[in-house]
Amino acid sequence: MDEDGDIWFAMEEALNLETGRSEFPAPRAVPLASTHRKLGHPSLLENSAKHARIGGEIVYDPLFGEKGWVLSNSSGRYGTSPDRRKEHLDNVAARFGNYGLVFDVYYI
C-alpha cells in the first residue's frame, strides 16, 4: 500500500540477466540460477514519486486460518520496520475487502 492508500501488487518474478526477459512466477522454494535476479515488490514503486506505507505477501495456504488466502507483512523493507503495525496490515485487508477479496491476516 502506498502513502495514498492505493494497493500495488504483482506476481513474484525474476529477471533473466542473459535475455533481459522477465520470467514468472519465481517460486520461493526453488533457488534462482546465477543468471537470474529476483524482482521483489520494492520494485513496484521504484520509478514512482510515491512511497510505500506497508508491504507484504499474499499466499495460498489452505492449512492456515479459515479463508485459504493469507495476507502477511512479510517484507524486509516495507513490512516489519518498527513503525509498521498490525493496524496497517488490517487496513490493507480492508481495502482488498472492498473488492470482495478476503484474507486471513498474519502479522509478523
Give residue 37's pLDDT band: very low, low, confident or very high (50, 70, 90). confident
Helix H segments across the chain? 86-97
Q: Which of 26, 46, 47 is nearest to 36 (CA)?
A: 26
Say if pTM beats, i.e. exceeds, 0.75. Answer: no
The residue written with cell numbers 524482482 in the block is 39
The residue written with cell numbers 490493507 in the block is 92
Buried b (16+ CB within 10 A) or exposed e, 12-22: ebbbeeeeeee
Give residue 23's pLDDT band: very low, low, confident or very high (50, 70, 90). confident
Give residue 29's pLDDT band: very low, low, confident or very high (50, 70, 90). low
